[in-house]
Amino acid sequence: MRVPLPLALLSIVPLVSALAPVVKKGSYLFDSTTGDRFYLKGVAYAANYGSGQATAVEESGSVSQLDPLANGDGCTRDLPYFKELDINIIRVYQVNASLDHSTCMSALNSAGIYVLLDLATPYEAINSVNPSWNTELMTSYVETIEAFGSFENVFGFNIGNEVVSLLPLPPLVISGLILLQISSLPNDQAAPYIKAAVRDIKTYLSAHNYSQLVGYTGTDSPNSRVTLPYYLACDEDESDIFDYWGINVYEFCGNSSFTASGYQARTEELQDLGIPAFFSEDGCISDPPRTFSDVPIIFGSEMTDVWSGVIMYEYIEQSNNYGLVNISSDGSSVATLTDFNYLKSQYATATGSSLAEASYTPTISLPVSCPASNSSWPVATALPPTPNSGECACVASQLTCISTYTDGSSDIGTALGEICGESSTACSSIAGNGTEGTYGDLSMCSPLQQLNIAMDVYYNQQSRASSACAWSFATTTSVAGVTDTAAAAAATSKCIAQDAFVGSTGIPSATTTLPGATTQPLVTVTSQSSTGASSSGHSSGAVPLLGAHIPVAAVFGSMVAGLVGGMVMALL
């Protein structure tokens, strides 16, 4: 047990100058000031919530209110222990862009600690089953970037976490008879949306002179750990592809080895990637206490040709028992657990081989050809369009049959399913399919805009008959000059043709607002959610949830999943 540290003891934490941006070159990361190769040596900081945040969550029911970097007192409390562990980075899974992070971020910077920040939250993320890359999600990501882009110690922004993985479904069993067995629903078609998000976020960072890296962290499943990283790196200009690849891996359990653990196989899989890679989560707990005996291997000669360090899961003890420390109920003190000293001992000697950026010439070329689309990897190379809030707003302003729902209504998805089920062609302009590589011109609009677009298209398909806008959630409105089907088609087509703001990137900016563009999400998802478990059985950060957007191609899969799940629950 460890007694609380008085604030005066913070003087033992040496102050350093502002941290230099970490940059990538070929397969490795480097300190942009010293030119030395950079290795991540960190812990996941998945909880550090002050009492004020907890109260706000209880009142609002919103997980997005939880933000560990907004708890300055908690950061101050934990810094001496971070230094004792000798870490140089923490991973944070969700933040609230509207809160103040200056106290925590400045303290971390002074202590020489970077932050790997997930842009997704449990409410705003690329959805595994019904993926989309739209104005709502991009605006959420941009707001977080604007809140953290000025902090020198932000290592990078994470586009998504475990989006592509296996989604197991329970069998449908009645009286001992298995009526339906679906081992998993494929979600590989989310890959193009991840790649499009990387493309657009990197464009935004470049346009606004931010230097942070952009990457993705995947789950330890075959398609995710092997095919996906090569897909994200292929057939694009280097300026448009991800800067790092992280994998959440829990294979080294107990007294294992480089070969027996699977680390050798993981290393061989990525040896031709040409992109920096690291373990974005690690720390198997199947054989406690954890001695972290894989750390010397990760930083040893067998792995450093491919890997650039590790982030251990996790610092604060939660119900999943992965923690290194316990925090008192009032948040004022820290008690280290057994695993803390084991990790401290391992990190003390973890350095990795030295390499100067100036003397390093990359020898691995980025993959030109993308992985072939086939039955085991049904993914297209064509990517979704860049979200353009101006174009979507222009089209939305020309619609006359629209819904009565307000932003954030939980009924939007159901209504979309109803419209698209009645007429798939009414939804063609808003549908996206990552398997076929087909994306409607307006597939990047918000869920509420998509619903209104589908309703209006259906209304005009039916020659604007009153019965065609008689849904329980429908209403009609008047738009100047739009009095018949031809006028409606001309009005919306003009919006699409001019691309609303042809001279812009189409990216909403929190600092330079485009004429008519919105910098706030048009829809905020408010339905309650729960975090999911990774393949290792622990809860790992921001988990994509089912949202309101339902592309036509995904409707059937969602219906099957819901049918099976609902029938099983009814039988329990």
81 and 211 inside one domain = yes
Give the mean pLDDT of the chain. 83
Indicate which CATH number applies to the domain containing 422. 1.20.58.1040
Query: Can you give the pLDDT at residue 175?
Result: 44
In a domain, 217, yes or no: yes
Of 544, 488, 458, 483, which is closest to residue 94 (Cα–Cα)? Answer: 544
Domain boundary, last residue among 359, 380, 404? 359
**Phi, psi at residue 185, to the nearest 5°?**
-100, 130
355 and 453 inside one domain = no
Of 112, 119, 70, 75, which is closest to residue 93 (Cα–Cα)? Answer: 119
Of 212, 286, 206, which is closest to residue 253 (Cα–Cα)? Answer: 286
231 and 333 inside one domain = yes
In a domain, 228, yes or no: yes
345 and 441 inside one domain = no
In a domain, 459, yes or no: yes
Give pLDDT tens digits for 475-493. Answer: 999 999 999 999 998 888 8
Query: Can you give the pLDDT at residue 105?
Result: 97
Torsion of CA 256, 260, 263, 266, to 10 degrees: -160
Q: How sure is the predictor about 3, in pLDDT bands with cuts at 50, 70 and 90?
A: very low
In a domain, 559, yes or no: no
Catalytic site residue from 143, 236, 269, 281? 281
Q: How sure is the predictor about 56, in pLDDT bands with cuts at 50, 70 and 90?
A: confident
Query: Can you give the pLDDT at residue 185?
Result: 54
Cβ atoms of 67 and 95 within 8 Å: the answer is yes
Helix (H) or strand (E) holding 438: strand 438-439
Q: How many residues does the chain have?
A: 572
Looking at the chain, the whole-number percentage of residues with pLDDT higher than 90 is 67
Instruction: Please write down the HEC assignment for all residues of 14-63.
Output: CCCCCCCCEEEECCEEEECCCCEECCEEEEECCCCCCHHHHHHHHHHCCH
Q: Which of residues 26 and 16 earns the better pLDDT score?
A: 26
Task: Give CA–CA dist 266/157, Å, rounded.
Answer: 24
Q: Which residues contact 74 (CB under 8 A, 6 or more apart)?
A: 48, 49, 50, 68, 104, 327, 331
Cβ atoms of 435 and 189 within 8 Å: the answer is yes
431 and 304 inside one domain = no
In a domain, 81, yes or no: yes
Residue 64 pLDDT more than 90? no
Indicate which CATH number applies to the domain containing 130. 3.20.20.80
Query: Can you give the pLDDT at residue 504?
Result: 39
487 and 409 inside one domain = yes
Whole domain around residue 463: which residue ranges? 389-503
Instruction: Please write down the HEC assignment for all residues of 205-245.
Output: HHHCCCCCEEEEEEECCHHHHHHHHHHHHCCCCHHHCCCEE
Catalytic site residue from 124, 136, 143, 162? 162
Average pLDDT (498-521) is: 37
Q: Which residues contact 344 (CB under 8 A, 6 or more apart)?
A: 84, 85, 86
Residue 281 annotated as catalytic: yes
Tokens of 148: 């953290």
In a domain, 187, yes or no: yes
In a domain, 414, yes or no: yes
In a domain, 572, yes or no: no
Cβ atoms of 219 and 165 within 8 Å: the answer is yes
Q: What is the DSSP string of 90-115?
A: EEE----TTS--HHHHHHHHHTT-EE
Q: How sure is the predictor about 186, in pLDDT bands with cuts at 50, 70 and 90?
A: low
Give pLDDT tens digits for 210-269. Answer: 999 999 999 998 889 999 999 999 987 888 899 999 999 999 999 999 999 999 999 999
101 and 36 inside one domain = yes
Give pLDDT tens digits for 76-94. Answer: 999 999 999 999 999 999 9
Query: Can you give the pLDDT at residue 167?
Result: 56
Tokens of 120: 């997704």
Give pLDDT tens digits for 138-163. Answer: 999 999 999 999 999 999 999 999 99
348 and 407 inside one domain = no
450 and 325 inside one domain = no
How far apart, in Å, are the Cα atoms of 342 and each of 207, 262, 283, 292, 321? 44, 22, 12, 7, 16
Query: Can you give the pLDDT at residue 527?
Result: 27
Residue 279 pLDDT more than 70? yes
Residue 391 annotated as catalytic: no
Average pLDDT (34-47) is: 97
Domain boundary, last residue among 503, 524, 544? 503
Domain boundary, last residue among 503, 525, 551? 503
Q: How many domains does the chain have?
A: 2
321 and 411 inside one domain = no
Q: How sure is the predictor about 389, in pLDDT bands with cuts at 50, 70 and 90?
A: confident
Q: How sure is the predictor about 20, in pLDDT bands with cuts at 50, 70 and 90?
A: very high
355 and 424 inside one domain = no
127 and 166 inside one domain = yes
